[in-house]
Structure 1
């Protein structure tokens, strides 16, 4: 059996180009995602996702439906959904920092003015007038009659109110007004621009931002993942070549590069079924150069579950997730799925997790199709 090794590429030795879907390049990897091609010092071509051209709404759809309910926390996802329809800002707050965006930032990122009506921004509807006066620049000093949605809200509840004074004055005269929420009226006739400077407010200042779906922030699901406040990119620069693809007849693999951020990324497979890909160095130079991880395996997450999650959500899915790696940071996990010995191919998938203030589930929300590989394909490992 040939023994595998890894090679770490110098970041400055790579050059980048873009390539079309299902590229015929010698990299022998395929995906439905936009990709970019890199080449190392010895001319090996490697295909990677082009995160500058991938947004949450453009990612492949999830293949299985599911739901969870634990300690007052409940979520649901449906087969055929893109990630923007089941991930909240809180799920990706550490990985991508979406809460640092304002609507103006988002509009600039997607090069499109935000003309959404206020009903398409349900997070705004949950804010009360006192909060809006505090966080929207100069809103409190603005004459209430010049803010049509707010004027209508106040008139609908307190018809005798004089709207020809500043919002701050009204709120100080009648504190009950400050408790009114925008979603108490029909917001479909008003746009973002109808509340002056609303687009300048950082999302993190809006109460409840953590529980808001990505799709419910106007324009956010169209922002490239590499353009978030904390851009999604490769974590590390280690690549390997798939030397062999092994099926379910394989047993007990001790030296692995797969696992979880809880159990570590060298979790042995001690079961009776340990399908995996065996990895070698990119140059396929034989045994003359021996690497630290020589002969290690990336185990199939379809057949091996490992410990995952933390805090109050750790027990979801029995505290288990498919074994794999985090080569692109903590937004999602990359998992080897079903190695096929007959045609020497293997498919990979992404798995997501849910988070709240007290914990995170294991990475088990998936699979979302990612890359397909053949023997001798380069594969990105991350750190």
Structure 2
């Protein structure tokens, strides 16, 4: 494993160096689609403009690049033979499919999550019609060892039934020195591929498919068991290939980026800037910048020009007043080198990259180049990075691919509007944009806790300690003089439990974050409940575009309301998007504590108000108490409010946020860690009824042990023909966290993605329990949980609705739920698991090896919830 990681690391570094040395002497312009973007002004009027719509581009639509004579592929081919740069010769014009590496496309758009079967399904190409030879080195570089390590179906296949391995074996036998060795190998043909490679002939593992020559024309991907369903990112040879190696599947020309797992869409937190006056070199240092780099923790940091003379454009923000906008900010061209990348992969580049911005998230960077002051225009380009987890540590290159100047996508002229991500924030998504998350750059970090939904507050030690803190905190006036001690006692006892309950419901459990929410509320409302901004305050600000003006669409004024004085129509809309409220049409809803409390929490959690969030200022003892004021109101009384927060934190920092109950007493048993509560996965059916009466035709209760696709099934198929059919509800068996949603097929009738939902929890022994719910429709999962395809982080309780059965397999076994369970990485009999959990959680259940069918046993323990605030690792298969 270590050797594999080191080879991958060297290949990445030297491929990276090869790309950065490919300097474009000329770039062919490509056509980039645009979309109409509307910016609502604060007086209700709408400003329209065209913005680039990358989601409508295919890989082949990106510009070709003419290479200079600065490449170093000769030396690189000797050092990193696994990366083929022979097509990157000086003077060549290289098409996008030949310079876009699959690792870059995976980091930016998640293409590595797809298998070859997924791509074929998207493009309509038949895998069986594409010979292995059509994939070039992507397939040719695959070795028997790599296939065996990554694909259980291949490893478990019998040698004599595997035509590819048989061909490799015969090729290898021809090179053996004596007949006795050949006889030994012939006897091995009855064993599995894994046994063959780990036995007397380990050198077989190094045979690559390209060694089989013209025989690759005879086979397709379907002749290699399991390869069609294996994610590209699980096979180094595929991920290190170029996009053009998958042209025969239609990857480069039949799919636009909108169809990719992580399509390029604009961040929810963008500001819209108007490209103002292009300014040349004679400018002085600028501290107000929107361009910069991405460093450790994926923090996008604005970097001012060092020493002056940086070429840049200037922006005016539209849709916001100058006091809170980006008016006068500068965007430097890519000539400015900024701190960029982190970990070992950034070292070959000096951890420096071109200055730019990230309106589409961290999947790729937007650059400005070739500023023309004469006609008031600038070239817009995009550049990529690649990231890897090496020895359990994430590391990323700078955004220097395929060249430091990026790929040109078009020019914009003065007065055009352009999306901008404010600097000095943690960028969103898992190396992409907001894709599958809810609003805000931090939505996926937090686990929703449905136990506190609608609770009307909580009780427990953290509440008692917080109340003590709020009643003893020294209070200051604007001049820093102490004016009293503690806020209104009745208000504190009424509203602090509501705010703490809302924080826990929406996954905010760090004591420093809870303390700062309470401190801000105390400062803004004196704990007298949600309030309206005084008329004198908003009237002073009323004017064209200001938040006190009457909105032309709704007729309302969006001045400050709630616990933290929420302003602006756009902020009301964003909160509605998450909470399902209707404050945009009825802003006085923000005066209802049951709305104001969660609105306060998610607004501060996700950076809705100013693009700054709680995450941006650290955790626990390291929390930046003064800086955090920028979450609400930049610079206003930051020391005073930070002092309130420190005082509260000292009282609650050692409390356990799990040791709480709902104030109304309802469902409190579902909220504690390790309570062992379990439910039936069939929505509307009790677990007792499921276990006692489930005997429907054509379904085997213990079909975990039936043969399935060259292995064993490992799950139980629960018949939904009498339980709602397609569209029948599916519930979580236990408390836990949804960590991923993965496409496993498509509905036969509609083509809608059929998905696997993975819920992780722990048992009382601290072991990881993985539950897989297969054949749900994607739309139902999105509606029930907010999770789309990819990683997720949403808490569920026993019996929580997580989606509905889709129509993927109605022709063979009828609408059904395939339920699987793993304990510490081992598949177990799901039926036995449910029986033991229903009886208290302790008992012996069978394990099953899906490759060999071997049956073992394991001791089960009562279920609990994950103890750590870290998200459990998402399973790879």
Q: For residue 333 of structure 1, report the CA deviation from its aligned partner.
A: 1.6
Contact map agreement 1:143 1:163 (CA 8 A) in 2:
no
Q: Look up the match of 2:39.
A: 40
Residues 202, 341 of structure 1: alpha-carbon distance in 2 compared, 3 angstrom cutoff: closer
Q: What is the aligned partner in structure 2 of residue 200 from structure 1?
A: 229
Using the size of structure 1 for normalisation, the TM-score is: 0.76
The residue number in structure 2 matching 1:344 is: 376
Instruction: Name 1:26's counterpart in structure 2.
Output: none
Whether the aligned pair in 1 keeps the contact of 2:377 and 2:411 (CA below 8 Å) is yes
Q: 1:257 aligns with which of 276, 279, 290?
A: 290
**Secondary structure class of the residue paired with 2:63:** coil
Q: Distance in 2 between matches of 1:141 and 1:272?
A: 64
Equivalent residue of 2:288, what SS? coil
Equivalent residues in 2 for 1:48-197, closer than 5 Å? 48-62=51-65, 64-65=67-68, 67=71, 80-114=93-127, 115-121=129-135, 122-129=137-144, 131-132=146-147, 135-136=150-151, 138-139=153-154, 144=159, 147-158=162-173, 161=186, 165=190, 167-168=192-193, 171=196, 175-176=200-201, 178-179=204-205, 180-186=207-213, 187-197=216-226
Q: Distance in 1 between matches of 2:314 and 2:173?
A: 71
The separation in 1 between residues aligned to 2:146 and 2:80, in whole angstroms, is 25
- Could you say which residue in structure 2 is the equivalent of 1:311? 343
Cα distance in 2 between the residues matched to 1:207 and 1:340: 43
**Residues 207 and 342 of structure 1: is their aligned pair in 2 closer, same or farther, counting only changes over 3 Å?**
closer
Q: Residue 376 of structure 1 corresponds to which residue in structure 2?
A: 415
Q: 2:252: which partner in 1?
A: 221
Change (3 A) 1:250 1:183: same
- Max Rg structure: 2
Per-residue Cα deviation, 1:221-274 (whole angstroms, up to 9, x for no partner): 344323333333223332111122222333322211111113854221244423
Q: Aligned equivalents of 1:33 and 1:197: distance in 2?
A: 37
SS state of the match for residue 277, structure 1?
strand
1:145-193 Cα shifts (integer Å, max 9, x gaps) = 6543333222222366379856549828964275243232112332223
Provide closer, same or farther for how the CA distance between residues 322 and 197 of structure 1 changes in structure 2, counting only shifts above 3 A. Answer: closer
Q: Which residue of 2 aligns with 1:296?
A: 329
| Alignment correspondent of 2:281 | 248
Secondary structure at 1:372 match in 2: strand
Q: What residue ranges of structure 2 are gaps of 5+ in the alignment?
A: 1-28, 175-181, 423-877
CA offsets per residue over residues 264-287 of structure 1, 9 Å max, x none?
A: 54221244423322111336x9xx
Aligned to 1:240, the other structure's residue is in SS state strand
**Partner SS, residue 47 of structure 1:** strand
**Distance change in 2, residues 1:113/1:43 (3 Å):** farther
Partner-residue secondary structure (3-state), 2:65: coil
Alignment partner, residue 321 of structure 1? 353
Q: What CA distance in whole angstroms lies between the structure 2 residues aligned with 1:374 and 1:169?
A: 61
In the alignment, is the contact (CA less than 8 A) between 2:188 and 2:196 conserved in 1?
A: no
Unaligned runs of 5+ in 1: 1-29
Quick check: 350-359 or 339-348, which moved more? 350-359
Q: Could you say what secondary structure the match of 1:274 adopts? A: coil
| RMSD, matched Cα | 3.6
Give the number of equivalent residue pairs.
350
Report what 1:22 is aligned to.
Answer: none
Q: Does the 8 Å contact 1:339/1:347 carry over to 2? A: yes
Closer, same or farther in 2 for the Cα pair 1:275/1:47, shift >3 Å?
A: same
Separation (CA, whole Å) in 1 of partners of 2:32 and 2:164? 41
Three-state SS of the structure 2 residue aligned to 1:280 is strand
Residues 1:298 and 1:131: Cα distance change in structure 2 (over 3 Å): closer
Deviation at 1:134, TM superposition (A): 6.1
Structure 1 361/119 Cα, relative in aligned 2: closer, same or farther at 3 Å?
Answer: same
Question: What is the distance in 1 between the residues matched to 2:220 and 2:30?
Answer: 38
- 2:258 alignment partner, SS class: helix
Q: Whole-Å Cα distance in 1 between the matches of residues 360 and 369 of structure 2?
A: 18
Farther off after superposition, 373-382 or 90-99? 90-99
Q: Partners in 2 of 1:368 and 1:278 — Cα distance? A: 22
Contact 1:140 1:166 in 2 (8 A): no
Q: Once the 2 structures are TM-superposed, how far is the Cα of residue 307 of structure 1 from its aligned partner? A: 1.9
Contact 1:91–1:356 (8 Å) recurs in 2 = no
User: Structure 1 CA distance, aligned partners of 2:188 and 2:246?
Assistant: 30
**What is the SS of the residue equivalent to 1:48?**
strand
Distance 2:389 2:157 in 1: 35
Q: Does the Cα contact within 8 Å between 1:234 and 1:382 map onto a contact in 2? A: no
Deviation for aligned residue 1:141: 6.3
CA contact (8 A) 1:61 1:369 kept: no
Query: In the alignment, which residue of structure 1 is the partner of 2:770?
Result: none
Evaluate the alpha carbon distance shift between residue 51 and residue 175 of structure 1 in structure 2; reply closer, same or farther with a 3 A threshold. Answer: farther
Q: State the match for 1:361 in structure 2.
A: 397
Cα distance in 2 for partners of 1:246, 1:360 equals 32
Q: Bigger CA drift: 292-301 or 219-228?
A: 219-228
The 1-side partners of 2:66 and 2:314 are apart by: 26
More helix by share: 2
| 8 Å CA contact 1:149, 1:194 repeated in 2 | yes
Paired residues of 2:334 and 2:355 also in contact (CA < 8 A): yes
Cα separation, 2, equivalents of 1:299 and 1:91: 24
Deviates more, 1:185-194 or 1:219-228: 219-228
Q: Is the CA contact 2:317–2:325 (under 8 Å) kept in the aligned structure 1?
A: no
Paired residue for 1:17?
A: none
